[in-house]
Amino acid sequence: MTPSRQTATAARSPQLPEGRGDLSDALVTALRTGTAPSHPLPAAATADPWGEDLHLALHLLYELHYRGFDGVSDDREWDPDLLRLRQQLETRFLDALRTDLAETPRSVDMAFAPLLAEPVDLAGSLSHHLEKDGELWQLREYAALRSLYHLKEADPHLWVVPRLTGRAKAAMVAIEYDEFGAGRPERIHAELFARLMEDLGLDPAYGRYLDQAPAELLATVNLMSLFGLHRSLRGCLVGHFACVEITSSPGSRRLAKAMRRCGAGAAAEHFYAEHVEADAVHEQLVRHEVVAGLLADEPDLEADIAFGCAATVLLEDRLAAHIAKAWTAGRSALRTPLPDV
């Protein structure tokens, strides 16, 4: 598939998935029929904050602010009934995060210190496993899961730009300029990931693997949208962004080696190789200009920045544990396995 054909395919609005419980079933029906969800608010107030039903429903509501869904009116993005439901789900999710992270550091230095040096023991690292022992089918699963983020890479972080000023805004825009290809559409990171997927025999269409993605993956993507869509959580989004940039370069180096070792293809290796150097530069910018600039302007946001970092680590650890458990047992980490290439 040529880059222009790939881009056209990836730009289409995805199909609505099947629901995974009362909440998401009601929401999918409402979106398909153009009606209000049937009695979802009481169920939302008691839903499992880590469960499949809540995170699929929340993901669907957030996607109305990105590409939407085939056959769903663009007007549903600001439907008051859907916004009320989203607020309930967000409250459940955010309360669970705050409960689990009640004892975590509230200073930026303490939150980021563990991330600035690679641990001596990488035994629990998913990228380390893929680099040393990963098989091609595992790389394909990993890419299918990560596609829900990487095919809209950097989009959620753009929401913070109008909420920043001075140093923080200038540095954030500079980093995002790189993420979006520095003016070259074929260099957009989402486009590079789509080519990685083609090398791995995967469908690069936006949202294609939503049905296969477990709650642990959906939570990592929902976190960015939660932070991005709320001005009150702008510090959390900066913390999330900084955490991603700080931890990206070492992991990308290992994943580039994994792609090379498994013969995944030049585009598959290139995506991660590109992130090794770029994110090493971005790490310095985000720490010394975005975070430091925001703290200079709004020092009261320090605890939020630290929380955003801690929440990112928590959800990435939950996802890694889910994947490792499945692979150790010799089974797929997806809800339904990928077809063989």
Residue 138 structure tokens: 């595992």
* In a shared domain, residues 95 and 136: no
Give the model confidence (pLDDT) of 93-113 as tens digits: 999 999 999 999 999 999 999
Task: Calculate the average pLDDT of the chain.
Answer: 92
* In a shared domain, residues 173 and 44: no
* pLDDT over 60 (residue 4): no
The SS3 call for residue 179 is: helix
* In a shared domain, residues 279 and 321: yes
Confidence of residue 194 (pLDDT cuts 50, 70, 90): very high
Domain boundary (49, 66, 100) is at 100
Percent of the residues in the chain that have a pLDDT greater than 90, as a whole number = 83
Give the model confidence (pLDDT) of 305-328 as tens digits: 999 999 999 999 999 999 999 999
List alpha helices for the chain, DSSP H: 3-11, 22-33, 41-46, 52-63, 80-100, 108-112, 126-132, 136-150, 155-158, 166-179, 189-199, 215-229, 234-261, 266-285, 292-297, 302-328
Q: How many CB atoms lie within 10 A of CB 17?
A: 18
DSSP per residue, 41-79: HHHHHHS-TTSHHHHHHHHHHHHTTTT--TTS-GGGGG-
Closest C-alpha to 97, from 213, 262, 240 = 240
Residue 291 included in any domain: yes
Is the pTM here over 0.85, yes or no? yes
Residue 338 included in any domain: no
- Report d(CA 211, CA 330) in Å as an integer: 21
Closest C-alpha to 189, from 112, 282, 254 = 282
Residue 69 included in any domain: yes
- Report d(CA 68, CA 62) in Å as an integer: 9
Of the chain, the end-to-end C-alpha distance in Å amounts to: 16
Total domain count for the chain? 2
Residue 52 structure tokens: 């499949």
What confidence score (pLDDT) does residue 212 get?
A: 98
Residue 335 included in any domain: no
Q: What is the mean pLDDT of residues 192-221?
A: 97
* In a shared domain, residues 118 and 35: no
* In a shared domain, residues 311 and 226: yes
* In a shared domain, residues 306 and 204: yes
Q: What is the mean pLDDT of residues 211-223?
A: 98
DSSP per residue, 194-245: HHHHHHTT---STTTTTTT--HHHHHHHHHHHHHHH-GGGHHHHHHHHHHHH
Radius of gyration of the chain (CA): 19
Give the model confidence (pLDDT) of 115-139 as tens digits: 887 765 566 789 999 999 999 999 9
Domain boundary (100, 117, 147) is at 100
Determine the structural domain holding residue 264 and report its residue range. 108-328
Domain boundary (73, 100, 127) is at 100
